């Protein structure tokens, strides 16, 4: 297994720990190797749903989830998806820290 695949699996493990148990169980089931025939079409549908997020039922949350699922099977996506998740997580942490500091300082 490549370094990118290992990192991607660690990111999925962390995600499974942070989401509700029902969703974590579903995600673990979809991550199994035998679920590939379900995972690829589901990933494509989620990416398309994220692209059309301006429609009422769909949302932008579908795009990153679809890319994560596709990256499990498409090796060329693993590096960019890993980088995006790590940078997004770092940005989110810094943004939360900044908000917390502003509230504490009374600004």
**Pick from 27, 18, 9: which is nearest to 72 by CA?**
9
- What are 14-53's pLDDT values in tens digits? 888 988 999 899 989 999 989 999 999 999 999 998 888 8
User: By residue range, what is the domain housing residue 26?
Assistant: 3-105
Q: What is the number of structural domains in the chain?
A: 1
CA distances from 96 to 19, 44, 62, 93 (A): 19, 31, 23, 5
pTM of the predicted model, to two decimals? 0.77
- What are 64-105's pLDDT values in tens digits? 889 999 999 999 999 999 898 889 888 989 999 998 888 887
């Amino acid at each position: 297994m490549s370094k990118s695949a290992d990192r991607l699996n660690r990111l999925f493990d962390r995600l499974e720990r942070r989401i509700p148990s029902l969703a974590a169980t579903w995600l673990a089931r979809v991550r199994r190797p035998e679920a590939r025939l379900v995972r690829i079409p589901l990933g494509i549908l989620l990416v398309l749903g994220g692209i059309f997020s301006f429609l009422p039922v769909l949302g932008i949350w579908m795009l990153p989830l679809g890319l994560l699922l596709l990256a499990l099977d498409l090796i060329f996506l693993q590096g960019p998806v890993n980088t995006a998740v790590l940078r997004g997580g770092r940005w989110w942490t810094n943004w939360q820290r900044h908000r917390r500091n502003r509230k504490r300082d009374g600004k």
